Amino acid sequence: MSLFDFLETIMTQDEMKQAVAQEALNYVIEDSIIGVGTGSTANFFIDALASIKDKIKGTVASSEATAQRLASHGIKVFDLNDVEQISVYIDGADESDANLNLIKGGGGALTREKIVAAVADRFVCIADESKLVEVMGKFPLPVEVIPMSMKYVSREIVKRIGGNVELRDFTTDNGNFILDVSNLKITNPKQMETELNSIVGVVTNGLFANSPADVLLLATPNNVRVLNKPNL
């Protein structure tokens, strides 16, 4: 692939992210508080949200970076502890399967993302079509851990679910570390999410399977597809 073709591919993916972010505005409920995710797709959403900022009460951010970007647009950011209800949480993902189970945390914000998503009435995930996979696990699964437990948790992960564990050169907004687990085939995401969260020292992991997305807006080069969580 030539450099020109490569650059064109990147631009197209960014255009898809922008299109899906714009589409997500239709899921914003007026006069309510919106939960906002983290990452490049969420950043496009923040930029789009700025155009209707006077129609919402404000937002809750899933990371310091998101809070800063929201504030830079003059969008009000609430502390989650000052808020009782979030109408919708809008965020990207690293992978999704057809049941809208997700891997998140590529940007390291998984714990706050899971918290804000838990409070929200509805989770609308926004992604380009490259994120939809048959079986999750090609993208390394992020696990946030308390720093002193890092070695113990790494051993336990290999014992319990296998894979290769790598420490990311990164500190989360919560002052913790991230372990990225590669070489997984996640055929039972609910069970894996629960198993990983039962290891002492794990804060949370990037599987959103016990509470998956409610809606996945998936950008293709031609349109934005809407996938609803199936009734299983």
Using CB under 6 A as the criterion, which residues of the chain lie in contact with ligand 5RP when the complex forms? Answer: 37-41, 91-94, 104-110, 113
Q: Crossing angle, helix 150-161 and helix 189-197, to 10 degrees?
A: 150
Contacts of 11 (CB under 8 A, 6+ apart): none
Between 43 and 154, whose beta carbon lies closer to ligand 5RP?
43
Told to judge if 113 belongs to the known catalytic residues of this protein, a careful annotator would answer: yes
Q: Least distance from C-beta 72 to ligand 5RP, angstroms? A: 18
Q: What's the alpha-carbon Rg for the chain, to the nearest Å?
A: 17
Between 6 and 170, whose beta carbon lies closer to ligand 5RP?
170
Q: Least distance from C-beta 126 to ligand 5RP, angstroms? A: 8
Nearest to 194 by CA among 172, 161, 166: 161
The one catalytic residue in 15, 30, 95, 113 is 113
Residue 42 phi, psi dihedral angles, 5° rounding: -60, -35
- What are all long-range contacts of 12-15, with beta carbons under 8 Å and residues at least 24 apart? 12/221, 13/128, 13/130, 14/40, 14/44
Q: Least distance from C-beta 106 to ligand 5RP, angstroms? A: 3
Between 40 and 149, whose beta carbon lies closer to ligand 5RP?
40
Between 39 and 140, whose beta carbon lies closer to ligand 5RP?
39
Residue 153 phi, psi dihedral angles, 5° rounding: -65, -40
Angstrom distance (rounded) from CA 120 to CA 89: 6
Token representation of residue 37:
């995710």
Token representation of residue 113:
């993302």
Between 69 and 104, whose beta carbon lies closer to ligand 5RP?
104
Neighbour count for residue 97 (Cβ, 10 Å): 20
Q: Which amino acid is residue 208, in one-letter code? A: F
Q: Least distance from C-beta 93 to ligand 5RP, angstroms? A: 5
Q: Least distance from C-beta 108 to ligand 5RP, angstroms? A: 6
205 touches 196 (CB < 8 A) = yes
Annotated catalytic sites, by residue? 113
